[in-house]
Amino acid sequence: MYVCICNAVTEDDVHGCVAAGACSTRQVKEACGWKPGCGSCTRRLGMVISEALPRLLRASQSSAA
């Protein structure tokens, strides 16, 4: 699903950025080459990041065990 239509950024794109180390909206926007648009996606972006971070941490803990 698209997180930002203006920049054609999907949830998968955001998850990839988080997996690569981005942990804030600013870092994800920089990693995706996000250009200023309408701004309505910022709240959704934050939600996707906050959902992705705990999953990534659990996955990394499971693979380390």
Q: Which of 1, 22, 23, 21 is nearest to 10 (CA)?
A: 1
**Which string of DSSP letters, residue by residue, matches 1-65?**
-EEETTTTEEHHHHHHHHHTT--SHHHHHHHHTPPP---TTHHHHHHHHHHHHHHHHHHHHHHH-
Q: Please write the tens of the pLDDT for every residue from 22-60.
A: 989 999 999 989 998 888 899 999 999 999 988 877 777
The pLDDT value recorded for residue 30 is 94
Q: What is the distance between the alpha carbons of residues 9 and 7, in angstroms, rounded to a whole number?
A: 5
How much is the CA Rg of the chain, to the nearest whole Å? Answer: 12
**Global pTM value:** 0.81
3.40.640.10, 1.10.443.10, 1.10.10.1100, 1.20.1250.20: CATH of 2-64: 1.10.10.1100
The pLDDT value recorded for residue 37 is 84
